Structure 1
């Protein structure tokens, strides 16, 4: 049974000036269903690690962890810190099926990526959503990363590849685990679909939130070992280092 939802049209009704902001319910004055005031107040990432996007006190730096143990991925692109109200929007999209919130965040992420593509970022050959464990997919009914990748792909005109990566083990949830526990939890959890060829390709993993980067590193390492030229990570938000204040 294929649980992933498919849509022929937009998730929310597009009514131009009649749209309401999904955050404050006031009339939206942007192409997306969010008003300028609410968009401005989102927790934009600001200064961050040039590799893993960890929030840092100054721009143009690389965090100590990435200097000590460089990850398999080349760069993480995330517009926001995982803080209110983005954390609430992601949770409602991810756990409660509020797809309009996910669509809104995906459109704003696409805008950020389009801007970067015109500056210093090379577009990937394909978008690969992080695969969801089968048990969790059955329970939830959809993979939020796959939905984000489809929306991004349609806006950015980049192919969305949902077939190349497989989750071979139903590992426990990563939430609540530290970095080392997450790495152990993901040991041999992923595999490439037999017959898939990624050699020489520039690929981008898509997920909702990057916390320790363990999942992204495991998948990027798998792809790089199979010959991928470069692996980036696109996500909605990046969590701050534990113990730091927003």
Structure 2
């Protein structure tokens, strides 16, 4: 992590520690909720048009075309090279100040933020028109080494309350890693595909929850979608009929 970002995160956490639970985690103003209504509206209620497959923001004129042809908007990449997953829904872009919520949860062990992230993600899911809810929710499994180092899987921390909020079964161990992989964020996009190839397999104990089902994958951040695509590809190979991604934040390419 760059020192500047680490310093920002440290300052944020110090402020949060002083203010919680009677102040908004983003603006610091007195509030009975973890996130005030003003910040919720400003950062998490955007009317940005997104590709329904990968959740990248797309141009408004594409949305107009989609409406006239009665099709959902998709970006050029998803049209040319459709991924294995069918839908991606996100709560926000991975930009300041929303990115600080992810960093605080993931690297500073601020687990009390997980219900807030799941709540914001739930709203995004329920606000998505014509989207069937999945039969079961799961997450991207961490490798044993990384799980031991971090002590928890941030996607599980988001997914568990999300399942209760949506009334959908949560099966954290639906998928397993077949091997340890390198951290995706440290790799060039071309290397990410090779790194994740055949890295997952359904847990034999829960294989009956895959075939013929719509599976929802919960995660904290989507960047290239390589990991989620490998998960979806594996799930469909074992009989899943649909795979949707529910991710808190979407990284925007520079």
TM-score norm. by structure 1 comes to 0.84
CA contact (8 A) 2:141 2:173 kept: no
CA contact (8 A) 1:45 1:81 kept: no
SS of the equivalent of 1:42 reads: helix
| Residue in 2 that maps onto 1:140 | 150
2:40 counterpart of 1:28: no
| Residue in 2 that maps onto 1:174 | 184
In terms of fraction of residues, the more helix-rich structure is: 2
Question: C-alpha root-mean-square deviation of aligned residues, in Å?
Answer: 1.7
CA-to-aligned-CA distance 1:163-220 (integer Å, 9 cap, x gap): 2200121111001323321111101211111241211101101100110000010000
1:46 to 48, 52, 55: 48
Question: C-alpha displacement at 1:103, in angstroms?
Answer: 2.0
Distance in 1 separating the partners of 2:98 and 2:47: 11
SS of the equivalent of 1:228 reads: coil
| Residue in 2 that maps onto 1:3 | none
CA contact (8 A) 1:90 1:208 kept: yes
Distance in 2 separating the partners of 1:38 and 1:168: 41
User: What is the count of residue pairs matched by the alignment?
Assistant: 221
Distance in 1 separating the partners of 2:113 and 2:91: 15
Q: Which runs of 5+ in 2 are unaligned?
A: 1-20, 64-72
SS of the equivalent of 2:204 reads: coil
SS of the equivalent of 1:80 reads: strand
Distance in 1 separating the partners of 2:85 and 2:216: 9
| Residue in 1 that maps onto 2:68 | none
Distance in 2 separating the partners of 1:68 and 1:190: 25
| Residue in 1 that maps onto 2:80 | 68
Which residues of 2 match residues 191-210 of structure 1 at below 5 A? 191-195=201-205, 196-197=207-208, 198-210=210-222
Distance in 2 separating the partners of 1:189 and 1:123: 26
Question: C-alpha displacement at 1:45, in angstroms?
Answer: 7.0
Q: Which runs of 5+ in 1 are unaligned?
A: 1-17
2:236 counterpart of 1:235: no
Distance in 1 separating the partners of 2:252 and 2:59: 11
Which residues of 2 match residues 56-205 of structure 1 at below 5 A? 56-58=58-60, 60=63, 61-116=73-128, 119-195=129-205, 196-197=207-208, 198-205=210-217
TM-score norm. by structure 2 comes to 0.82
Question: C-alpha displacement at 1:55, in angstroms?
Answer: 1.8
CA-to-aligned-CA distance 1:119-169 (integer Å, 9 cap, x gap): 311111010111011101000000001111101001111110112200121
